[in-house]
A = this chain, B = another copy of it.
Amino acid sequence: MTASLPPVITTPAAAIDALATLAEGFAAVAVARDKEGTAPVAEVEQLRATGILPALVPRELGGGGLDWHTVFEALRPVIRADAGLGHVFAYHFVNSWRLQLNENQPRIDELQRGLAANHWFWGGAGNPRDAGLELTPVEGGFTVSGRKFFATGAQVSDRITASGTRVDTGEKLAIIIDAHQPGVVHHDDWENIGQRLSASGSVSFQAASVPDAHVLGFGEQSGPRYRPFASLSILLFQLALDHLHVGLAEGALEAAAAYVRTTTKPWSTSGLSRAVDDPYIRELIGELTSATRASDALTWRATDALAGAAERGWDLTDAERGEVAVEIAAAKVVTTKTVLDVTSRLFELTGARATGEAYGFDRFWRNARTITLHDPVAYKAQEVGDHALQGNFPEPSGYS
């Protein structure tokens, strides 16, 4: 962490400007960084230096007091430039914001104050498909043990959001783990075809310390005391994926358009002197752009729906949550299709020479193909379908 901390960003314009500037820098080195594929240590420091990390913390707790619409708007250029960075950055906001979906309000407030004061970067370790973490009671709190895969951001974080099960009582608890302690081992094993800067490898906890102040009580989604508000974090992760898909498509289209304008040669039998006049290029980029605009419009509508749900707090009803969940799921279905089409077909705009590795145009598809597999899109379509057919809402779970 840097010695001197920045002032907290408190206006939408400042947030948007700050990340737009960062994004330019990321774009300039995106191809090289994708090749390296190392964890985004430096980039997280750059993000921290903007003062945006506590943007969602309420003003009264020292934070920026901004809203989700602003945060996603600010993140979009980063996603366009490098969706791996967009991924890990977006997850910081979800993993820190979700603090408030828990029981122990004083501890939640204290952690939010800490985020505002210290500009902690936040990761998560909650992949629902892995075995759960184990919590062993010790004096003054617990120790936590276990391993989680797909722990996006944990490797470059200061604090990690997780949950664990008490080995003595079987009770499930929401916890926060200090990432800078010996018992937290980052395996640096994210060797995947895309989202290479997203620090999405696995993390092990070997009797790492979780003091009482980091135990938030009954977790989100847990058991008899479950209320709809508690599981909004899941919808936020899903919504972040929607934004990642759309931003990736936008980034790919911008890159392709620039290449066509400057580099693509008109096809020999077209009788044209400029590639931008080729009817098939004009039509195809028009179709892909139109699909991307529709994906974008639905994603923003879902964002506003979620922001509205978040404002309802603990009064949020099952039906209100359900409507948002369906909208976000529908966006997942559409944005998934769009981003895969755009990132694969962009080469039909640019032509054969653009397959040269120096251009790195394949990274868009590799990123898209990786991030769109977070959870199977067919089951998202099924959720939307159950609502259309029978008015059912998705059952809250680790993915819905």
Contact = CB atoms under 8 A, between A and B. Distances in A.
Contacts of A295: 294
Interface string A365-378: 11001100111111
A234 to B, nearest CB: 13
Contacts of A387: 289
A160 B398 CA distance: 57
Nearest to A392: B276
Q: Which of A253, A269, A295, A390 has the most CB of B within 10 A?
A: A269
Contacts of A366: 362
A241 interface: no
A330 interface: yes
B293 A334 contact: yes
A112 to B, nearest CB: 32
B370 A355 contact: yes
A331 B289 contact: no
B267 A376 contact: yes
Interface string A181-193: 0000000000111
Majority secondary structure of chain A interface residues (helix, strand, loop or mixed)? helix
Contacts of A380: 286
A268 B344 contact: no
Interface in A153-181: none
B290 A330 contact: yes
A194 interface: yes
B276 A389 contact: yes
A377 B397 CA distance: 32
Contacts of A397: 268-269
Contacts of A289: 330, 384-385, 387-388
A376 B333 contact: no
Contacts of A378: 280, 283-284, 348
Given A286-B388, A298-B298, A344-B369, 19 more contacts: A191-B357, A191-B358, A193-B355, A253-B388, A261-B389, A268-B397, A281-B385, A282-B382, A283-B381, A283-B385, A285-B388, A286-B382, A290-B330, A294-B331, A340-B345, A348-B377, A351-B376, A352-B373, A352-B375
Interface of A: 128-129, 150, 191-194, 253, 257, 260-261, 265, 267-270, 276, 279-287, 289-291, 293-295, 297-298, 300-301, 327, 329-331, 333-334, 340, 344-345, 347-348, 351-352, 355-358, 361-362, 365-366, 369-370, 373-390, 395, 397-400
5 contacts: A267-B375, A286-B382, A287-B385, A294-B297, A348-B377
Closest 8 pairs (CB-CB, A-B): A286-B385, A286-B381, A280-B378, A286-B384, A290-B333, A297-B297, A282-B385, A290-B330
